[in-house]
Amino acid sequence: MLPVNCGSHSDYQNFVLKNFRKYYPDPDSISRSTWDIIDRFWNLDLSFTDEFMKDKYSVFGPRPRTPSCMQRSYLLSIDFKIASITDWVANLKVNPLYAILSGFEFGDTPGVGTFYDFFSRLWDSDEDNLSPHVHPLKSKVKKPKTKGTKAESVEKATVEQLLPELENTAFHIDDQPYGSLFKLYKSEFLEKSVSKGLINTSSLALAGDGTPVVTSHRERKHRICDCASKGITDCRCNRYFSQPDCDIGWDSSRDCWYHGYDLYMNVDAGSDLPVFPLFHPASKHDSHGFLHNFFRLKSFLPDFHVTKLLLDSAHDAMPYYQYCRRAGITPFIDLNGKGGRPPVYKNDFTIDNDGVPICPAGYRMRRDGVERAKGRSKFKCPKVSRKDGCITCTCENPCSNAKYGRTVHLVMNDNPRLFNDPPRSSKEWKLEYNARTSAERSNKREKLDFKLEDGRHRSSKMWYCRLYHILMLQHLDAWNMPNESTLKMILQTT
């Protein structure tokens, strides 16, 4: 039968208050750190979950658990750092606090199978993974020659080929297996962070970065062909993979191979809050992972107007800059040194690594503003002196007879990768780019604070369920709570 709606959020609060008086008559017996979690969940309204998931249950059969209570309970398990569903179910049976905060009567809590049934209802696909278990062997990622650098892309398509293809693809959230998870996350957490002023959707500075997610110590696969019986040991036939959406990649931060996903996360640089995640195979290069993530974000969140992109050197490709110019986005992308730069500019000037012209005498020229109407940056001679109202060029071999010295205009259309606004040599560019670390801080929260990798799951369904609920907790933690616990004050006065 359909789940029985527990009522409004106030009904949940009344339930918690009633049971706290019964099991915890002395509020001071609970630690302060636990009270911080209690207060967040006391104020967390999950009423939308009950209404949204009503159609995911049959009208026949026994009465199921209330969806909002199941979701709240799973969020609690992550917040209390209990990664195993089996362990969490055992704790619900012996710890009244966990049961009450979830919304369950102590002594009447769900079992392991009930939780996995709930996860299946959050996953909009009959398959637990995005790709079939049987598929060909993939190309192996080559170990980079330099320590601390990322591996080269194994993708057959280049960024130049992939970008227009994804840009012209219409993505629909209802077609995605994680569609229901995204809708719950968006309605109950992301939009609430926007309403609280934590995220500015009209002018979004979007930071992006990929991070390794280890799912197992080794790749598990076996043959399904009979080549071995024929003495063929190095066949390229299809294999059966237990985790078909994962493969082997290179972790540049630890300089080691790993098996799992590459989690690409787009983050609001102003608040460090996650906006949209996407799991890729570990071998996926960040330059491709960003494109898959970004154009899905634009389709699923049309009200989010991106004005700035903050990306590391793995995204330093000319098509990125050309797209940003078409879309009215200001790119802040670090150079990787592989894209090159024009050896000579304006016949006798070279260009430094950060896009600053070098005069024939070998001096870096001084930035003198941007002429946006003409689409160019202006640089002047660095050896010009202004003393006692007199302007002179102190260079031993001046390259111009003008009293202001030589002036060079860098036309942005000549090379939008090197010549950008603001220039990389400016304080404004460096200040904006420093906010890119918000993506790294967000990834740290997911992997270390909320222990994403402790899930030890075998399917993308479960990894997406765990990931999205961790993102929900990140938003929940960012919301301002009252200085004094409302629930604790009520308990102390009654």
Domain regions of the chain by residue span: 9-122, 134-312+436-463, 350-420
The span from the CA of 414 to the CA of 469, in Å, is: 46
Q: How far is CA 130 from the centre of its chain?
A: 19
Give the angle subtended at the CA of 268 by the CAs of 215 and 447, to the nearest 5°.
Answer: 20
Cα gap 12→34, rounded to integer Å: 19
**Containing H/E element for 14?**
helix 9-23
The pair of structure tokens assigned to 283 is: 């071998």
Separation in Å, CA 396 to CA 178, 360, 362, 384, 399: 67, 12, 12, 11, 10
Structure-block tokens of residue 29: 């017996």
For CA atoms 34, 37, 40, 42, give the dihedral sign. negative
CB 173 within 8 A of CB 182: yes
Cβ-contact 421, 370 below 8 angstroms: yes
Structure tokens at 356: 């600053």
Is-contact 267 438, C-beta < 8 A? yes
Torsion sign (Cα): 231, 236, 237, 243: positive
Q: How far apart are CA 472 and CA 77, in angstroms?
A: 13
- Pair of tokens at residue 416: 């939008």
Backbone angles phi, psi at 390, to 5 degrees: -105, 130
For each of the chain's 494 residues, which pLDDT tens digit applies?
556 555 688 999 999 999 999 999 888 888 888 999 999 999 999 999 999 998 898 888 788 899 999 999 999 999 999 999 999 999 999 999 999 999 999 999 999 999 999 999 999 999 999 999 999 998 888 888 888 778 888 888 899 999 999 999 999 999 999 999 999 999 999 999 999 999 999 999 999 999 999 999 999 999 999 998 888 888 989 999 999 999 999 998 888 999 999 999 999 999 999 999 999 999 999 999 999 999 999 999 999 999 999 999 899 998 999 999 999 999 999 888 666 555 566 666 777 777 788 887 778 888 777 777 777 778 888 777 766 656 666 676 777 777 667 777 777 777 788 777 788 878 888 999 999 999 999 999 999 999 999 998 999 999 999 999 999 999 999 998 777 778 888 887 86
Are 352 and 330 spatial neighbours (Cβ–Cβ below 8 Å)?
no
User: What end-to-end distance do the CA atoms of the chain give, in Å?
Assistant: 39
Helix (H) or strand (E) holding 306: strand 306-311
SS3 state at 164:
helix
Quote the crossing angle between the two packed helices 460-478 and 67-79, to the nearest 10°. 80
d(CA 345, CA 103): 69
Total-model pTM: 0.90
